[in-house]
Amino acid sequence: MEAMDDQSKIEQCWFCEDSRPDPASAATVEMHAGGFIGKSDEYEVSNTASVAVPRCERCKLAHDRVEGFVAKGAIIGLLFGILPALYYLYDSGLESIRDYWKQVLISIGVFAMAGGVVAWGLGRIFIPKGVKDQRTRERHPLVQQKVLEGWKIGPKPPGL
């Protein structure tokens, strides 16, 4: 019986641990192996792989919905950031953008990010009870196994 339990665990969706995974709905985690060459700051990616985390169609739809919501939230946040920026420019004259364009861009970016974060929080409502957040794919045993083997999560190091 125990062997069967193990088997059924593998054949379960990682996110709801309830449904059978749909191959076309698998959540992929891009990974890479690599490191800095010697003591230089040159980074070499020696190998890449993508791990398919079993996911059912229902969970994929839930995750996709949240993603779409976050994107919309960021756009709304962006608009909310642009409006005060435009008002500010109107108020203090177009000339002031020469001195303040950085602050204006930063505040627009902050608004967009805040919109995305708020939407993400709201979007979680769409995730059915018992379905794990998309980010938990990085905790899947297949991914963790590769991390133990020295692989890193992501197609390449951040910022490179």
Residues in contact with Zn ion by CB under 5 A are 13, 15-16, 19, 56, 59
Nearest by Cα to 50 from 150, 160, 142, 133:
142
Q: What are the backbone angles phi and psi of residue 113, rounded to the nearest 5°? A: -65, -45
Nearer to Zn ion (CB atom), residue 19 or residue 134: 19
- The number of CA neighbours under 13 Å toward the Cβ of 70 is 13
Nearer to Zn ion (CB atom), residue 22 or residue 120: 22
Rounded Cα distance between 11 and 50, Å, is: 19
Kindly state the smallest distance separating residue 55's Cβ from Zn ion, in Å.
6
Please name the helix (run of DSSP H) or strand (run of DSSP E) that holds residue 33, with its range, or none.
strand 27-36
Taking CB atoms, the residue at the shortest distance from Zn ion is 13
Nearer to Zn ion (CB atom), residue 16 or residue 53: 16
> What is the spatial order of strands in the sheet that 27-36 belongs to?
43-53, 27-36, 152-153
Nearer to Zn ion (CB atom), residue 27 or residue 31: 27
